[in-house]
Amino acid sequence: MADLKSPKVQKILNSKAFAHLATIGAKGEPNSSVMWFLWDEEYIKFTHTTERQKYQNLKRDPRVAITITDPDDPYTYAEFRGVVDKIEEDPTGAFFNTLAEKYGSSSRYRGDPRVVLCIKVDRILGYV
């Protein structure tokens, strides 16, 4: 099992790679989406609208798996397993805009109800 302090894991967490966030659906089925993320040294953070299924999945069952590939070496990746430790309201979409800037997107907050999902990592697997 990898360590959060590993240089390879830190490189992945501080990259502009896309994360694949997997949740558990109402009938136990996996649900995976490609997402922007930010690592703040405590949580892997995502923004999400409260109107989509993934948000409902997380409210019902906070367990997640997140896979992120090293952008410089596609054979190096980390899978982070954990739980949504907290959900922060984001009424102005400030975090969405922060992520858009990080990823070089011209998209900006469009007024949909948003939250910040804060994932606490319990375990790291993968080829790192």
The pLDDT value given to residue 128? 79
Task: Answer for the pair 78, 68: CB distance below 8 angstroms, yes or no.
Answer: yes
Where does the pLDDT of residue 127 fall: very low under 50, low under 70, confident under 90, or very high at 90 and above?
confident
52, with CB counted inside 10 A (0-12, 13-18, 19+), is: exposed
Nearest to 112 by CA among 97, 102, 126: 97
For residue 93, pLDDT over 80 is answered with yes
Checking DSSP bridges between strand 114-127 and strand 30-35, what pairing results, if any?
A: unpaired
The pLDDT value given to residue 2? 74
Conformational region of residue 104, where left means phi above 0, alpha means psi within -120 to 50, and beta covers everything else: left
Question: In terms of pLDDT, which residue wins out, 87 or 127?
Answer: 87
For residue 1, pLDDT over 80 is answered with no
pLDDT in tens, 57-90: 999 999 999 999 999 999 999 999 999 999 999 9
pLDDT in tens, 17-62: 999 999 999 999 999 999 999 999 999 999 999 999 999 999 999 9
